[in-house]
Amino acid sequence: MVTIKSKREIALMQEACKVVALTYQKLEKEINAGMTTWELDKIAENTMKQLGAIPAQKGYNPGIKGVPQFPASICVSINDEVIHGIPSKHRIIKEGDIVSIDTVALKDGFNGDAARTFVIGKVPKETQRLVDVTKQAFYEGIKYAKPGYRIGDISHAIGEYVHSQGFSVVQEFQGHGIGKEMHEDPGIPNSGKAGRGLRLEPGMTLAVEPMVIQGKSNILELDDGWTIITEDGSLAAHYENTILITEKEPKILTIL
């Protein structure tokens, strides 16, 4: 069921999303070669708690048989890890890595969700282009995040742009509605047919999140039950924001 948020609920969501934005400000300042992904996790968790929120991902149970609760506060995925990487004291960030972080903050009963891919030091031009294209794909998609358009219009715009740049989109995972629950209806694929799917209305809050692969779109799941990697070992990037559908242009809630 898709929920239309009231003015009060939107105000509460804005506060949760502000926590996410401030957490990324802190992470961007701190992330560096030589750190462990566990250190990033602690920075994010402490920042969220200082701002009156909790990390919604910590202990998250997807309700899928055999899949354990997520054990950390954020997802940290490096290079060929697409999404859901589990932070570790043994995983050290290196010069030339690209590091995707997915963060969800829960505050006063509402969630804010965003993802960023950080470039560590100098990387090849094609690696930087992957990160840039992934971010731009989000903006191409939300050109259609307006009343009267449909979910498929967002999906189509993302997929067409990514493919035009010579990259692939992940098919098995997608964006989603968000509010009191981390994942709500509707699902928002990163490719699809224009003119299809739910018609957008003011008051909807959506997490739009292109996941882009440098090579083929095939993915694999690691034995930890969470981490998703590219099958061919190619790099992947992730960019996401929580947005609000308004009467006119969409409002990005997870950017200050």
Report the pLDDT value the prediction gives residue 241, as an integer from 0 to 100. 99
Report the pLDDT value the prediction gives residue 120, as an integer from 0 to 100. 98
Q: Which of 210, 207, 199 is nearest to 146 (CA)?
A: 199
Q: Report residue 60: phi and psi, to 5°.
A: -60, 130
Q: Residue 100: how many CA atoms within 13 Å on its side-chain side?
A: 31
For 7-252, CATH gives 3.90.230.10
pLDDT digit string, tens, across residues 12-49? 999 999 999 999 999 999 999 999 999 999 999 999 99
Q: Which of 129, 115, 80, 76 is nearest to 208 (CA)?
A: 115
**Would you kindly state where each structural domain of the chain is located, as residue ranges?**
7-252
Report the pLDDT value the prediction gives residue 149, as an integer from 0 to 100. 98
Distance CA 22, CA 12 (A): 16
CA angle 142, 228, 222 (to 5 degrees): 170
Residue ranges of the chain whose pLDDT lies below 70: none
Helices H / strands E in the chain, number of each: 4, 15
Q: Is the pTM of this model over 0.75?
A: yes
